Structure 1
Amino acid sequence: MVPLANAAGEPAPHRDGRFHNQASLPQDGVLKKLRIGLKYLFLRKPPQTRPATPISLQPMTREQVLDAPDHSMWRLGHSTVLLKLRGRFFITDPVFAERASPVQWAGPLRFHAPPLALDQLPPLAAVVLSHDHFDHLDEQAIRHLAPRTGVFLTPLGVGDLLMSWGVAPAKVRQLDWWQESEVEGVRFVATPAQHFSGRGLLDSNRTLWASWVIIDGDVRVFFSGDTGYFDGFKQIGERFGPFDLTLIETGAYNVAWPNVHMQPEQSLQAHLDLRGRWMLPIHNGTFDLSTHGWQEPFERILTLANQAQVRLSTPQMGERVSLDSPHAGQNWWQPRPVRQRGHAKERTMAAR
């Protein structure tokens, strides 16, 4: 199906060879970008930004994934989510690299290995990409997946990068905001986000960024990609909601970039604007991309969701979630109590 313009909204603003957000935002110069990059990505950060011990994962196997029922979903890390719809598999922003960085010898290091290795993924009907930043677009993963994937769905311009890496042009579908495409009976709509793009100092906003609406019959999922809070959430919710599950960016926020990443309070409001039934926070638990504690996004959004009576799903990486009936999950990020060896009686006997 050829992507078709949707009359529900305006295309992304584009002028002077660059894309722009719906709202006019301050533009950072090259020196400021370099300073932010060095400070938050490469220089030493507070120790609480990374877990002190290995985090708890749910082991996965290729066979379990293949045998799982339809409408299954798994978090593999950060914003990488594997979906099973109509017997086919789809993945968002597949990042399997050790570092979210232009180089693999420096930059934010993973907290955990992916619960399912890249070479164990099932054949993919589609890869769905939100934008070109390194924590969302992993060149080596794309090169590996190119012969094993039917379609790559990207915002405008990102597909050109994929083709330069060897992805066949016939597999690439580049969409503007409010355009849509169908893959194996599943409908994908590229919707607005408030963010920016670029993989270097001089290519800012040459490619588009987007969120995605995913529709399989009566099941509707929203994938935020990266975004600041903006009025577009209400428009998306009015046009495509209610959503059974919203995958909402909740992490890597900072006062230094308030317009392009959301604080947890804004993430919750975005979910409400979208008319979501369950919220699942993503963009956390894998890389230290800011200076807040790695557990903080989970704790803050859990408190906020309880106060607002919002149903929140926080599965472990690798834990299956049913899109038909999501579950709350456990607070797996919280420290587990240290168990003493032996029973009290044994310790008493040993003391004699």
Structure 2
Amino acid sequence: MALLGLVAACTSTGNCESPFSASPQFKGCGFSNPPNPQALPSASGWTIWSRFVFGDKVDTVPVDPIPVRALTPAQLEALDAGANHVVRLGHSSHLLKLRGKFWLIDPVFSERVSPFSFVGPKRFHASPMKLEQLPAIEGLILSHDHYDHLDVATIEYLRDRVQHYFVPLGVGARLVDMGVSPSRITELDWWQSATHDGVQLTAAPAQHFSGRTLNDRDRTLWASWIVQSGTQRIFYSGDSGYFKGFKEIGDRFGGFDLALMENGAYDAYWPAVHMTPEQSVQAFQDLRGKVLYSVHNSTFDLAFHTWHEPLDRIADLSEARQIDLATPEIGEVLTVGAPRKNVRWWAGLK
């Protein structure tokens, strides 16, 4: 089987052969974040996992049903083919209709985000449409290889139904292992771009990590993404702690019509790999975005804050700073550049 970007095993000296050795992000035997003296250290793995196993969680899973707007293929086809639309599927999964063609970002349709089907964080709500109902997909974008962003069952179902996949360095080998043809995959380093069917894609920096097992940490790269369709630019943060890279991205691209910003699964035990709502708002302002779109919440229990806290905090912050905020319901369609009234749909839900 052909392999794309398979990182060789590290030696005891920390030196290894790799097709990614020329990447500025590749150090020793893995990828690394840019220097950030302000980044706070995470607790040890043992401390974090002990807390997950033995710690108490309060209100991290909703009791009341999460509102979901069911979607039909006919509704999707009826969306204006001359505009750009974003459909919230849940967590960080989104379906985009970019000037008539459909794209996916980090699609996860499985019941759990885990290496096992019977244990692990379980979704709070059904998807607004079944995997089998998806239209033909022109492109699929992945931010990194964590289970809540790269889902085996979803990729295996879609592998021949997607025209092309765009992923950070090393993630192509993951897709090949899931049955995707290498000819359908483009791997990009930070600041590299590709164009497909009139859409320009650029992988950009993020401050995070990667890995799907106990012994493959940072063997693949993580990224944020810029999607330009027509005259409009959409930013997707992927997963990231706060760092100066957001300002650099904003300066390079001159702002964004819509910024999908991570807002959830943060904790003082891992402060450098996920942003608090305050940091998400600051990152959005660094990017010079027009509309702040909150993602990475309301679908899985991945931290210790209440399920609604990220939404409460970012809504209050945005109101205080007069930021145009989008917190769509699951299944809601947002048309980029079109006026809309944001609603705190979670208010009053337990």
> TM-score surpassing 0.5?
yes
Within the candidate set 268, 292, 299, 2:312 is matched to: 299
Partner Cα distance (2:40, 2:335) in 1: 40
* Secondary structure at 1:147 match in 2: coil
Distance 1:207 1:108 in 2: 23
The match for 2:113 is: 100
What is the RMSD of the two structures over their aligned residues, measured on CA atoms? 1.9
Deviations, residues 199-236 of structure 1 (Å, cap 9, x unaligned): 11110100000000000121110000000000000010
- 1:16-67 Cα shifts (integer Å, max 9, x gaps): 22000011668879xx335524643x66752400101111111211111122
Of stretches 45-54 and 76-85 in structure 1, the one that deviates more from structure 2 is 45-54
1:256-295 superposed matches below 5 A: 256-295=269-308
Q: Tell me what 2:331 maps to.
A: 318
Is the 2:41–2:270 contact (alpha carbons within 8 Å) kept by the matching residues of 1? no
Q: Does 1:23 align with 2:35?
A: yes
Q: How far, CA to CA, are the matches of 1:114 and 1:153 in structure 2?
A: 23
SS in 1 for 2:283: helix
Q: Which whole-Å deviations, capped at 9, do the CAs of 1:254-308 have from their partners, x for residues lacking one?
A: 0011001000000000100000000001000000100101010000000000111
Q: Distance in 2 between matches of 1:167 and 1:38?
A: 37
Match of 1:33 among 40, 45, 62: 45
C-alpha deviations, 1:71-113, integer Å up to 9, x for none? 1111000000111112111110001111111112111110001
Structure 1 residue 326 displacement after superposition: 4.7
Matches within 5 A, 1:44-193: 45-69=56-80, 70-193=83-206
Distance 2:138 2:54 in 1: 39
Instruction: From 245, 252, 258, give the equivalent of 2:258.
Output: 245
Q: Distance in 2 between matches of 1:225 and 1:279?
A: 14
Q: Which amino acid aligns with 1:275?
A: R
Structure 1 residue runs without a partner (length 5+):
1-9, 338-352
Range moving further from structure 2, 149-158 or 12-21: 12-21
* Aligned mates of 1:186, 1:163 — CA distance in 2: 24
Tell me what 2:237 maps to.
224
Give the % identical residues: 46
Q: Distance in 2 between the 1:123 and 1:44 partners?
A: 44
Q: Secondary structure at the match of 1:49?
A: coil
Q: For this pair of structures, how many residues does the alignment match?
A: 325
Letter in 1 for 2:237: S
Question: CA separation of 1:266/1:166 partners in 2, compared to 1, >3 Å: closer, same or farther?
Answer: same
2-side partners of 1:153 and 1:101: how far apart?
Answer: 23
- Alpha-carbon shift at residue 68 of structure 1 (Å): 1.0
Q: CA deviation at 1:135?
A: 0.5
Residue aligned with 2:243, SS: coil
Distance 1:82 1:149 in 2: 13
Name which one, 1 or 2, has greater alpha-carbon Rg: 1
Distance verdict in 2 for CA 1:264–1:12, change over 3 Å: farther
Distance of 1:200 and 1:26 partners within structure 2: 24
Q: 1:140 aligns to what SS in structure 2?
A: helix
TM-score by length of 1: 0.88
What is the identity, as a one-letter code, of the residue corresponding to 1:54?
P
Residue 158 of structure 2 aligns to a residue whose secondary structure is helix
Residues 91 and 126, structure 1, Cα contact 8 Å, conserved in 2: yes
SS of structure 1 residue aligned to 2:291: strand
| Cα offset, 1:321, TM superposition | 0.6
**C-alpha contact 1:191 1:236 (8 A) present in aligned 2:** yes
Secondary structure at 1:269 match in 2: helix
- CA gap of 1:97–1:12, structure 2 versus 1, over 3 A, is farther
SS of 1:90's equivalent in the other structure is: strand
Deviation, 1:11, is: 5.2
Task: Return the TM-score normalized by structure 2.
Answer: 0.89
1:344 alignment counterpart: none
**What SS does the corresponding residue of 2:251 show, helix, strand or coil?**
helix
- Corresponding residue of 1:14: 26
More helix by share: 1
Cα gap change, 1:45 to 1:107, in 2 (>3 Å): farther
Partners of 1:271 and 1:61 in 2: CA distance: 32
